[in-house]
Structures are given as C-alpha cells and as structure tokens.
Chains A and B, each alone.
Chain A
Amino acid sequence: MTIQNQTTLYTMIIYSENFAGILNQITAVFTRRQVNIESLNVCASSTPGVHKYTITCYCTEEMAIMLTKQIEKKIDVLQAHYFTDEDIFTMEACLLKLSTQGIMENPAVGHIVRQHGARIVEVNPTYSIVEMKGNTDNILSLFQKLDEMKVVLQFVRSGRIAVTKLRVELLDKYLAERELEQ
C-alpha cells in the first residue's frame, strides 16, 4: 500500500463488548497519539454481543503496536490487532450520484463506469446512481475520472472492512481461553 512519510497503512481490527461509549474511547487513543483515522467501520460481529471495529491509519509499526496496546487496555475491549494489507482481505464500497443529463451528453461516462466494474442501480431523468465495490485506489480513480467530467452530484465512500488471512480466529480463541479461565 502507499507509503506516506515513512508510514504504512495499517488496518486495526478491534473487538469490544457492546457497551455505550467504547467507540469514543477507541478514537480518543488515536487523537492522543496524533494519528489521523483514515477510515472507520463499526458493526456487530459474528459473535453475539461483540462489536467489531475496522480502523485504518497511516503510522509506523511502533505506533501501531502502541495504539493497539492502549486500545486493548480499555476495560471492555476484548482484542485489538493491527495488520498490513498483505495480512487481510479488504473491501470498500462507494455510491455516486450522477447527473443523468451529463451522462447522456458524454458517452465516455458509461465507459468509465463499466471499466471500473461499477454498476448503475438507478436511473431517472434527474440523476443516476452508481455503486462500486473494490479497493480505495480503484474507487478514487472512478471518482476522479467522473469528477473531471463534471457529472458527479454526490460521492460517498464507506470505511474499509476486512477479514484476516489467518487460519486461526483470534477472537474465538481468546473467548475460549477466557471461558476456561472463568
């Protein structure tokens, strides 16, 4: 992944109990260490009562270690791990609201949409909706090209979601250990 100022894009995968306020506690750790969050996704995990946070940021590995340790220190955080892009499967999504008239006037728009593997999910006389799944670079490439054609009315990109390539499920292992310890 792109290197910015000797830093690497790390993806933090964090699991916590479903308590109010934990997201604040997690993001405060980044703020305190002056690390910008590039993207953030929070949702219920496959384990009932456990929430999963997927956070990306540029930092050094030393900082990634410190961040995950500080996050894991929070009482209701179960686990925090950091990964590089080689360690995980990732996906992002985006939605583009385009001017239908602009599309009609410039046939290259449709070509670019197809070229990026995006698809048109709604068309009406005023606007058309395009959705795309992929990685950050491809999504940004689609946006930039369409934006140059001045057809973009709105653009939104999701946070990254990720699953690890490990053959062991870290959370399951942890919960099993804790159950034994109890």
Chain B
Amino acid sequence: MPAKMKQENNQATEKGTRISGAEALMRSLEHEGVDVLFGYPGGAIMPTYDALYDHRDKLHHILVRHEQGAVHAAQGYARVSGRVGCAIVTSGPGAMNTITGVADAMIDSTPVVVICGQVSTAMLGTDAFQEVDVIGVTQPISKWAYQIRRAEDVAWAVSRAFFIARSGRPGPVVLDFARDAQTGMVDYKPAQVDFIRSYRPVPTPSDDIIRMTAQMVNLSLRPLVLVGQGVELGNAREELRHFIEKAQMPAACTLLGLSALPSDHPLNMGMLGMHGNLAPNVMTNQCDVLIAVGMRFDDRVTGNLKTYAPQAHIVHFDIDPSEIDKNVRTTLAVVGDCKETLRRVTELIDEARHDEWIAGFEPYKDKERARVIEPAIHPTEGPLLMGEVVRAVSEASEHRAVLVTDVGQNQMFGCRYFQYSEPRSVVTSGGCGTMGFGLPAAIGATFGAPERTVCLFVGDGGLQMTIQELGTIMEQKAPVKIILLNNNYLGNVRQWQYMFFHKRYSFTPMLNPDYEQIASAYGIPSRTVIERADLDDAIREMLTTDGPYLLQCAVKEEDNVLPMTPPGGSVDEMLLEVE
C-alpha cells in the first residue's frame, strides 16, 4: 500500500501472518465475501491458481472456455445478485480477452473486479512473453485500474477495488497482479477500505434542490417518469413506486431499467427507446415535466436530441454528477442516491391525480397493440415469430424468470415481450451492444440467482460468438434455458440493410451448423420447434427439464423489430410498419 493511502486502511487491526501475495489475494477475496470466481488459468497467474487450489471449497471457481466469457459471466452474476462479480485471468492475451467485458461493464455500470496476472516487475516494459500494458489499455474503460507490484499491497488493493466497484455508480475494476507480487511474502492483515478522499461515491443534494424538485412535480400537469437501471442498482424499487403512485405519474423504463417497475403496474407505460413502446416515446414530447431517475439519456432513448422533449422541464435524478447535462440540458439536477432522494422528494410532493393525462397514452397503446404487438405475439399463420416465442416463455415461467439476452433482434424482441415481476430480472448488454454477451452472462446469472429460472434469448449470430461456453454449462451443469431464435441471418443488421441500404444484404445471411448436434456433443438436451402448434409443449419440456436445455426455434427469416425510431429521428415519429 502506498504510504499516502494509509488513511484508507483504517481497520487493519488483526495481527499479521506471513503468507504469499497469492495467498493474500485468496484471503482478501474471502474477506470481501466472494464465493464464486469465473476464470481461466495461465502462466503469469499460476501462483494465484496454486493458492486457489487450497481455497477451492470456499471460492467456487468456474472454469470458462474463453476469458471474455469470464467477465460476461461475472457481469451476469453481478446484475442478478447485486454483488460484485469476480473474474480471474492470466496476463497478455488472457487480459486482452477481457477487454470487451470490461468496457461493457463500464457503460452498463456493472460491478465486477477483474484480476489479471502480469509478468514480474523486473520484466515490466521489456516486451516479455505475454506482457501487455493492461493498465494503459484498461484505464479509459474501467472505473479504476491498478497494478499490484508488491505482496504488501494486495489486501489494500483488493479492498479498494471492491469498494470502488460496488459503491456510487458501480463499475469494473481491473487489478493487474505482477507475478513476483504473487510469490512475494507478506505479513497479511485484512484491509477495509471504505473511504477514499478523492472519491465521493454518493453526493447529497441540498434541501433546496429537494424542495424545488417537489415543487416542480407539484406544479406539473403532465409529468412523465423515466426509470433507469439506477433504480435497480440503488435498490430503490419501493421508493420509485411510492413516488409515482403518490402523484399518479405515468412511468416508462429504459432497456436496463425494465424490471425496476413491474410490467403490470398500472402506471407502467412500457419501454423507452428506438424499439420501445409507442405511447411513452410519443408522450415524451407532450409532457410538461420529464423526470429521469437513474438513466443517462442514451442516444437510443432520446433519438434526435434537438427534438427531444423541447417543451418539457427536465429533472434528472442520478448518482453520477458527470451525467448531468451530458446529453440533455436539465432544469433541475438531483444528484445523489435515488433511494434517498426519491424518498425525500416523495415526502414533499402532494397527492395528485393525472387521469386525463394518463388516458392520453391509451390511443397510442391501442394503436401499437393492434398494429404491432398482437401480430407479433399472437400470429395465426406463417412461420414462428420471435415475439410469440418470447411471450410464450415469459407466460410459461409466470413472468418470474430472469431474462438474459444476447444482442440484436433477439434482444429487442426479448426485452419488449418478456414481462417482469421480480427485481433484477433483465441481463442484457445495453450500452456496448456486445454480441456474444448472452451465453456467458446467463451462466453467471445461474450462479448469482440459483433459485431462479434463467432464460437466455440468443440469435444464431451471437450464440456462435461465445458458443464455447457450452462447455462451461456442461461442466457446471448450469441450468441455463437457451432459447435460440434462429433466423439464419444477422437479423438486426439485415433489418437495417432492408430499411436503409436498399435491401442489399451484405454478408448478413448465415449458413448455420446443426445446433442440436452441437448441444448433444455437450450433453445438453435440446429440441427444435418449427411449427407453432409445438411451441408450448417444447417450452414446457424446456422448463421442466432439470439443468440446461437448448430450445431452437426456427423463426421467420426476415422479421423486423417494430416500432422503430429511425436513426436520427424524433421519438414521436416512430415507424409502426416497414415500407
């Protein structure tokens, strides 16, 4: 631990015992409450894996089949459990294979700690075998990246890493663990970092801001609340519900915030965004006060910023000050923990009714239901549709399963037509849009929420990006219910080619392998559904089968996700049909 950081190690009172840095890492992880690790061994991390061998009863290590899978699995674990996910890999290529996951966790505010092996300190900077400047690479895409060069720093660095990863706006932390720091000896004392003087994870807004916010809510005739993942991360579901119910304010959720408000809540108007629901998107441009809670006005939500809610006062609740005025100019910023700020504002707002305003959503809901939703989830003829598969799985699991998606049409149909009743029920790569995220993230979710059913919707493109993780599923008997929506296309890109590139299908049709044979090779039971009449029975079989299952659905090849705000378009100009 650097001398100047001594104030952070304020509870290191236990008498030390002399152990290796690798052993200190194991004890530090246990001290942080870690019991599941996703990893892959290699040269520079071998001393740590050797120490892990003696801790394998307490630290359940899941051997993934590629390091990218380790981070995505840690993300899936973190997203459903609310705990910090942990991945451990070797130096050089091992560390580089985690980069996509680290960037993904950063943009989606997911608390993970990635521990990478590194060459010995004497070899640093010499282009040694499997040496890569991991800190240089990961600093811009992580919340914190630190190189442990001495065994003495292990306890402090691990404690600091977990504190940073889980506090404030969560995010990924990378620890680059030099080999000689793993083998060096140290008088180990557990560390407890819970204060960093340069880091204020939870700002507190003034009473004036709270009062002004409440006043703005009270004066509003047409309020609309936008619910982001911050509500889930802040465990503020109840506070949000009280807030919107007290003043009867309609609300809509972002992709990552979908399970922050139950789907069947009467004030839930649906999903925001490019492929969200028509009513909340249109009404965004009709409300007088737009109240955003724990969301970041992503461009997929706002569409064209110039035409985004120009008529509205914007109130932004967020824990991260740098999100304020980043994309959308706010009238009032409530910077703090939304569990606390929502409670404080709710105390001051008046009970109110907005029946007429809420009734204004209905024509748009009816329009979308008739022209988009019903044809998508209850088709009567033609090939299977993604939407109907998603809704059927959701219903069969009584809307209580965890939804994991990959990226593309499977993601949009998945998030649109799945229904949510439990918190922390959506695991998807929102900001980064990482194809290949789904399968390893679903594995992680089964460890993070072992009591819940985990349903993964994945396309034939994304599945093949991390398909090797079927080996992890096989070995761990991870009960992932894989619903492969196979349309023999890279569907989302194909849709854009259809709509915006004159139907020139440049390298989006895809020749697929026999996925049932692949599943069989991994010992995973499977079934393929082609006919609509077989769907319910196949879903029942999947959900009642113990352990993993692959359900391949041969869906319409050229289906389109609708509605859609065209890129650069306004949120109130959604397309309900494709020309």
A92 within 8 A of B: no
Interface string of A33-52 (1 = CB under 8 A from B): 00000000000000001000
List chain A residues, Cβ under 8 A from B321.
Answer: 69, 72-73
Q: Is the CB of A182 within 8 A of B7?
A: yes
Do B140 and A18 touch (CB < 8 A)?
A: no
Bound together, the chains give a CA A28 to CA B136 distance in angstroms of: 11
Is there contact, CB below 8 Å, between B198 and A77?
yes
**Which of A24, A73, A175 sits near B197, CB closer than 8 Å?**
A175
B507 within 8 A of A: no
> Which residue from chain B places its CB closest to the CB of A48 in the assembled complex?
B4
B195 CB-CB contact with A under 8 Å? yes
Do residues A182 and B197 form an inter-chain contact, with CB atoms below 8 A? Answer: yes
B residues less than 8 Å from A73 (CB atoms): 320-322
> Smallest CB-CB separation from B169: which chain A residue?
A73
In whole angstroms, how far apart are the Cα atoms of A147 and B284 in the complex?
60
- Interface membership of B53, Cβ < 8 A: no
Tell me whether B135 is interfacial, beta carbon within 8 Å.
Answer: yes
Q: Is B7 a contact partner of A17 (Cβ separation < 8 A)?
A: no
Q: Verify B195–A182 contact, CB threshold 8 A.
A: yes
Interface residue? B521 (CB, 8 A): no
Contacts of A16 in B (CB 8 A): 198
Give A contacts to B, CB under 8 Å.
16-19, 21, 24-25, 28, 32, 49, 62, 65-66, 69-70, 72-73, 75-78, 175, 178-179, 181-182
Is B325 in contact with chain A by the CB < 8 A criterion? yes
Q: Which residue of B lies closest to A182 (CB)?
A: B195
Q: How far is the CB of A179 from chain B (nearest CB, A)?
A: 8
A151 to B252, CA, bound (A): 70
Q: Which residues of chain B are within 8 angstroms of A77 by Cβ–Cβ distance?
A: 198
Q: Mark B307-335, 1 if CB is under 8 A from A, else 0.
A: 00000000000001110111000000000
User: Which residues on A sit within 8 Å (CB–CB) of B198?
Assistant: 16-17, 75-78
Q: In the complex, which residues of chain A have a beta carbon less than 8 angstroms from the beta carbon of B197? A: 78, 175, 178-179, 182
Check if A28 sits within 8 Å of B4, measured CB to CB: no
A78 to chain B: which residues have CB within 8 Å? 197-198
When distances are taken between beta carbons in the complex, the residues of chain A under 8 Å from B139 are: 21, 24-25, 28
CB distance from B353 to the nearest CB of A (A): 38
**Closest B residue to A179 using CB positions:** B197
Q: List 29 contacting pairs A-B, 8 Å CB cutoff, sorted by A.
A: A17-B5, A19-B2, A21-B135, A21-B139, A24-B136, A25-B139, A28-B139, A28-B140, A49-B4, A66-B325, A69-B321, A69-B322, A69-B324, A69-B326, A70-B322, A72-B321, A73-B321, A73-B322, A75-B144, A75-B196, A75-B199, A76-B198, A76-B199, A78-B198, A175-B197, A178-B197, A179-B197, A182-B7, A182-B195
Given contacts A65-B325, A72-B322, contact A25 B140 (CB under 8 A): yes
A17 contacts which chain B residues (CB < 8 A)? 4-5, 198
Give the chain B neighbours of A18 by CB distance below 8 A: 4
Residues in chain B near residue A66, CB distance under 8 A: 322, 325-326
| Apart from A65-B325, A75-B164, A76-B199: 11 A-B pairs, beta carbons within 8 A | A21-B145, A32-B140, A66-B322, A69-B322, A72-B321, A73-B320, A73-B322, A75-B196, A178-B200, A179-B197, A182-B197
- Mark contacts of B1-36 with chain A using CB atoms, 8 A cut-off: 1 yes-contact digit, 0 otherwise: 010110100000000000000000000000000000
Inter-chain CA distance A69–B196, complex, in Å, is 18
B136 close to A75 (CB less than 8 A): no
Give a binary string over B115-138; 1 marks a CB under 8 Å from any A CB, 0 the rest: 000000000000000000001100
B199 contacts across to A, CB distance below 8 A:
75-76
The answer to whether the Cβ of B143 comes within 8 Å of any Cβ in the partner chain is: yes
Which residues of B are found within 8 Å of A70, using beta-carbon distances? 322
Contact residues in B for A175 (Cβ distance below 8 Å) = 197
Residues of A with C-beta under 8 A to B164: 75
In angstroms, how far is the closest chain A Cβ from the Cβ of B318? 12
Contacts of A19 in B (CB 8 A): 2
| Interface set, chain B 542-570, CB cutoff 8 A to A | none
Closest 9 interchain pairs by CB? A69-B322, A49-B4, A178-B197, A78-B198, A75-B144, A73-B322, A28-B140, A75-B199, A76-B198
Q: What is the CB-to-nearest-CB distance from B138 to chain A, in angstroms, rounded to a whole number?
A: 10
Which B residues are CB-close (under 8 A) to A28? 139-140
For A181, what are the chain B residues with a Cβ–Cβ distance below 8 Å? 195
Closest residue of A by beta carbon distance from B198: A78
Point out which of B143, B196, B197 has the most chain A C-beta atoms below 10 A from its C-beta: B197
Complex Cα distance, B186 from A53, in Å, reads 35
Chain A hits for B136, CB < 8 A:
21, 24
> In the assembly, what is the distance between CA of A181 and CA of B7, in Å?
13
Q: Nearest Cβ in chain B — how far from A35, in angstroms?
A: 15
Q: Nearest chain A CB to B177's CB is how many angstroms away?
A: 16
Assembly CA distance A16 to B140 (angstroms) = 17
- Across the interface, name the chain B residue whose C-beta is closest to A66: B326
- How far does the alpha carbon of A65 sit from the alpha carbon of B325 in the complex, in Å? 9
Neighbouring B residues of A25 by C-beta, 8 Å: 139-140
Across the interface, which residues of A come within 8 angstroms of B143, CB to CB? 75
What 1/0 flags go to B502-541 for Cβ under 8 Å of A? Answer: 0000000000000000000000000000000000000000
B2, B7, B139, B199 — which one has the most chain A CB atoms within 10 A of its CB?
B199
